[in-house]
Amino acid sequence: MLAAGGVVNDEQGRLLVIRRLGKWDLPKGKVDEGEGIEAAAIREVQEECGLDRLTMIKPMPSTWHTYERKGKQHLKRTDWFLMRGSSAERLVPQHEEDIEEVKWVTADEISMIKGETYPSLMPVLEAWAAMGT
């Protein structure tokens, strides 16, 4: 399965994170048939977080993880993209996708996220922190 997601900074250099099913995560989702990967990444951030105005900046590291659904193992690749959003827009969690919270966090708050996230997300968070945004 192919997915795409956003590593979104605001004008203050904060990172957009979501809380879903008790874990911190970044907005992402399945690439629809016939949809471009970058378009899917923007659509997923818009749907899951309520942001309308996003600017694509550059690709970030891709991640792989496995999960089980209906007794079957699946392998999922997520292509991540650095984007710019605005904290002036109201954040709206997509509750129908089990998103409990959406918020901007500073680089200092990333340690809290790392303690309650998926191991597969660590390379993306580390790449974001290394950019010093």
Q: So where are the chain's domains?
A: 2-131
% of the chain surpassing 70 pLDDT: 99
Its pTM stands at 0.92
Average pLDDT over residues 8-14: 96
Q: Is 105 helix (H, G, I), strand (E, B) or coil?
A: strand
The pLDDT value recorded for residue 132 is: 76
CATH topology of domain 2-131: Nucleoside Triphosphate Pyrophosphohydrolase (3.90.79)
| Predicted confidence (pLDDT) per residue in 62-116, tens digit | 999 887 778 888 888 999 999 999 999 999 999 999 999 999 999 999 988 999 9
Q: Is 113 helix (H, G, I), strand (E, B) or coil?
A: helix
Beta strands in 1-133 (DSSP E): 2-9, 15-20, 23-25, 28-30, 55-59, 63-69, 72-84, 99-105
The pLDDT value recorded for residue 133 is: 58
Higher-pLDDT residue of 31, 67: 31
